[in-house]
Amino acid sequence: MNGKKVVVAMSGGVDSSTAAALLKDQGFEVIGMSMQLWDYSERGARDTAGSCCSLDDVYDARRVADTLDIPFYVVNMEEVFSREVVDYFVGSYLKGFTPNPCIKCNDVMKFDVLLRKSMEIGAGYLATGHYARIRREAGACRLLKADDAAKDQSYFLFTMTQDRLKRVLFPLGSLTKDEVRGCAKKFGLGVAEKRESQEICFVEDGHYSDLISTRAGARHASRPGDIVDRLGAPLGSHNGLFRYTIGQRRGLDIKDGQGPYYVVGMDLPANRLIVGKEDELLSRGLLANGVTWITDGPEDGEGVDVKIRYRHEPARAVISRRGNDVRVMFSTPQKSVTPGQAAVFYRGEEVLGGGWIERAIG
Amino acid sequence: MKRIYFDHNATTPVQAEVFEAMLPFLRDEWGNPSSIHWAGRAPRKAVEEARDKVCRFLNCSAAELIFTSSGSESDNLAIKGTAFAKKSKGNHIITTKVEHPAVLNTCKYLEREGFEVTYLGVDADGMLSLDELRAAIRPQTILITIMYVNNETGVIFPVDEIGKIAEVHAVTFHTDAVQAAGKLPLDVKLLRCDLLSISGHKLYAPKGVGALYVKKGARLIPLIHGGHHERNRRGGTENVSGIAGLGRACEIAARDMDKETERLGRLKHRLERGLMDRIPHVKLNGHSEKRIANTANLSFEFVEGESLLLNLDMIGIAASSGSACTSGSLEPSHVLVSMGLTPEISHGSVRFSLGRANTEEEVDYLIEKMPPIVERMRGMSPLWNEAEKKGALIDFEKKSC
DSSP state letters, A159-170: T--HHHHHTEE-
Identify the closest residue of chain B to A174 by CA–CA distance.
B398
User: How many structural domains compose chain B?
Assistant: 2
Q: Decide: A323 and A330 in contact? Cβ < 8 Å.
A: no
User: Residue A202's closest CA among A114, A338, A82?
Assistant: A82
Q: Determine whether the interchain pair A1/B332 forms a contact, defined as Cβ–Cβ distance below 8 Å.
A: no
Q: Decide: A263 and A275 in contact? Cβ < 8 Å.
A: yes
Q: Are residues B241 and B210 in the same domain?
A: yes
Tell me the pLDDT band of A195, cut-offs 50, 70 and 90: confident
Angle in degrees, 0-180, between the axes of helices B16-27 and B240-278, rounded to the nearest 10: 160
Q: What is the distance between the alpha carbons of residues A190 and A188, in angstroms, rounded to a whole number? A: 6
Instruction: Kindly report the average pLDDT of chain A as a whole number.
Output: 90
Check if B85 contacts A (Cβ < 8 Å). Answer: no
Q: What is the distance between the alpha carbons of residues B245 and B112, in angstroms, rounded to a whole number? A: 37
pLDDT digits (tens, 9 = 90+) for A135-168: 999 889 999 999 999 999 999 999 999 999 999 9
Q: Determine whether the interchain pair B377/A124 forms a contact, defined as Cβ–Cβ distance below 8 Å.
A: no
Q: Are residues B261 and B315 in the same domain?
A: yes
Mean pLDDT, range A93-115, rounded to an integer = 95
Q: Give whole-number Cα distances, A248 to A172, A224, A311, in Å.
A: 34, 18, 15
Q: Are strands A132-137 and A140-145 parallel, antiparallel or unpaired?
A: antiparallel
pLDDT of residue B332: 65
Q: Are residues B285 and B249 in the same domain?
A: no
User: Residue A287's closest CA among A359, A194, A197?
Assistant: A359
Q: Decide: A161 and B382 in contact? Cβ < 8 Å.
A: no
Q: Are residues B261 and B154 in the same domain?
A: no
Identify the closest residue of chain A to B381 by CA–CA distance.
A116
Q: What is the distance between the alpha carbons of residues A329 and A315, in angstroms, rounded to a whole number? A: 10
- For chain A, the C-alpha Rg in angstroms (whole number) is 22
Element holding A119 (H helix, E strand) = helix A115-120
Q: Does a structural domain hold residue B349?
A: yes
Q: Are residues B243 and B303 in the same domain?
A: no
| Three-state secondary structure readout of B58-98 | HCCCHHHEEEECCHHHHHHHHHHHHHHHCCCCCCEEEEECC
Contacts of A132 in chain B (CB under 8 A): none
Identify the closest residue of chain A to B347 by CA–CA distance.
A76
- Cis peptide bond N-terminal to A260, omega within 30: yes
- The three-class DSSP label of residue A69 is coil
User: Which of B310, B380, B391 lies closest to A124 in CB terms?
Assistant: B391
Q: Decide: B250 and B52 in contact? Cβ < 8 Å.
A: no
Tell me the pLDDT band of A233, cut-offs 50, 70 and 90: very high
Q: Determine whether the interchain pair B306/A75 forms a contact, defined as Cβ–Cβ distance below 8 Å.
A: yes
Identify the closest residue of chain A to B375 by CA–CA distance.
A120
pLDDT of residue B347: 78
User: Residue A261's closest CA among A273, A269, A270?
Assistant: A273
User: Residue B330's closest CA among B302, B348, B306, B297?
Assistant: B306
* Chain B closest-CA separation from residue A57 CA (Å): 11
Q: Give yes or no for residue A55 having a pLDDT over 80.
A: no
Q: Does a structural domain hold residue B393?
A: no
Q: Are residues B52 and B150 in the same domain?
A: yes
pLDDT of residue B326: 36
pLDDT of residue A138: 86
Beta strands, E only, B231-311: 282-284, 295-300
Task: Give the residue from B223, B253, B283 where a domain finishes.
Answer: B253
Give the CA count within 13 Å in the CB-facing half-sphere of B257.
16
User: Residue A84's closest CA among A58, A61, A122, A111?
Assistant: A111
Fold classified for A282-361? Elongation Factor Tu (Ef-tu); domain 3 (2.40.30)
- Count other C-beta atoms under 10 Å from residue A77's C-beta: 24
Q: What is the distance between the alpha carbons of residues B191 and B311, in angstroms, rounded to a whole number? A: 41
Q: Determine whether the interchain pair A25/B383 forms a contact, defined as Cβ–Cβ distance below 8 Å.
A: no
Class of domain A223-276: mainly beta
Contacts of A169 in chain B (CB under 8 A): 394, 396
Q: Are residues B269 and B193 in the same domain?
A: no
Q: Determine whether the interchain pair B400/A167 forms a contact, defined as Cβ–Cβ distance below 8 Å.
A: no
Where b means 16+ CB within 10 Å and e means fewer, B199-224 reads bbbbbbbbebbbbbbbbeebebebbe
User: Residue A334's closest CA among A302, A300, A350, A357?
Assistant: A357
**Domain ranges, residue B325:** 4-9+257-379
Identify the closest residue of chain A to B332 by CA–CA distance.
A76
Q: Does a structural domain hold residue B146?
A: yes
Mean pLDDT, range A27-37, rounded to an integer = 94
Identify the closest residue of chain A to B388 by CA–CA distance.
A166
pLDDT of residue A1: 56
Fold classified for A2-205? Rossmann fold (3.40.50)
Q: Does a structural domain hold residue B389?
A: no
Angle (CA) B392-B394-B396 rounded to 5° is 170
Domain limits, chain A: 2-205, 223-276, 282-361
Contacts of B384 in chain A (CB under 8 A): 163, 166-167
Hey, what amino acid is at A185? Answer: K
Check if B372 contacts A (Cβ < 8 Å). Answer: no
- Residue ranges of alpha helices (H) inside B113-239 are 130-136, 159-168, 188-191
Cβ-Cβ pairs closer than 8 A, A with B, add up to 102
Q: Are residues B231 and B308 in the same domain?
A: no
Percent of chain A with pLDDT over 90: 74
Element holding A346 (H helix, E strand) = strand A342-347
- Count other C-beta atoms under 10 Å from residue A264's C-beta: 23
Length of chain A: 362
Tell me the pLDDT band of A191, cut-offs 50, 70 and 90: confident
User: Residue B336's closest CA among B297, B294, B295?
Assistant: B297
Q: What is the distance between the alpha carbons of residues A353 and A200, in angstroms, rounded to a whole number? A: 24
pLDDT of residue A193: 83
- Count other C-beta atoms under 10 Å from residue B63's C-beta: 11
Q: Determine whether the interchain pair B380/A120 forms a contact, defined as Cβ–Cβ distance below 8 Å.
A: yes
pLDDT of residue A76: 84
Q: Are residues B274 and B249 in the same domain?
A: no
Q: Are residues B82 and B193 in the same domain?
A: yes
Contacts of A160 in chain B (CB under 8 A): none
User: Which of B310, B313, B399 lies closest to A26 in CB terms?
Assistant: B399
Active site residues of A: 105, 201
Q: What is the distance between the alpha carbons of residues B310 and B331, in angstroms, rounded to a whole number? A: 14
Check if B223 contacts A (Cβ < 8 Å). Answer: no
Check if B1 contacts A (Cβ < 8 Å). Answer: no
User: Which of A18, A73, A182 lies closest to B310 in CB terms?
Assistant: A73
Q: What is the distance between the alpha carbons of residues A56 and A48, in angstroms, rounded to a whole number? A: 7
Contacts of B399 in chain A (CB under 8 A): 22, 26, 171, 174
Task: Give the residue from B253, B273, B298 where a domain finishes.
Answer: B253
Q: Are residues B222 and B263 in the same domain?
A: no
Q: Which of A1, A22, A112 to mutate to test the interface with B (most CBs of B within 10 A)?
A: A1
CATH no. for residue B235? 3.40.640.10
Check if B393 contacts A (Cβ < 8 Å). Answer: yes
Q: Give yes or no for residue A330 having a pLDDT over 50.
A: yes
Check if B344 contacts A (Cβ < 8 Å). Answer: no
Please list the rounded mean pLDDT of every run of 10 residues in chain B (401 residues): 95 98 97 95 96 98 97 98 97 97 97 97 96 97 98 96 97 98 97 98 98 96 93 95 98 97 97 95 92 95 86 94 51 82 81 97 97 90 45 49 66
Q: Determine whether the interchain pair B399/A36 forms a contact, defined as Cβ–Cβ distance below 8 Å.
A: no
pLDDT of residue B397: 45
Q: Does a structural domain hold residue B329?
A: yes
DSSP letter for A298, please: P
Q: Decide: A43 and A87 in contact? Cβ < 8 Å.
A: no
Q: Are residues B216 and B299 in the same domain?
A: no
Task: Give the residue from B207, B230, B253 where a domain finishes.
Answer: B253
Contacts of B398 in chain A (CB under 8 A): 174
Q: What is the distance between the alpha carbons of residues B98 and B122, in angstroms, rounded to a whole number? A: 8
pLDDT of residue A326: 96
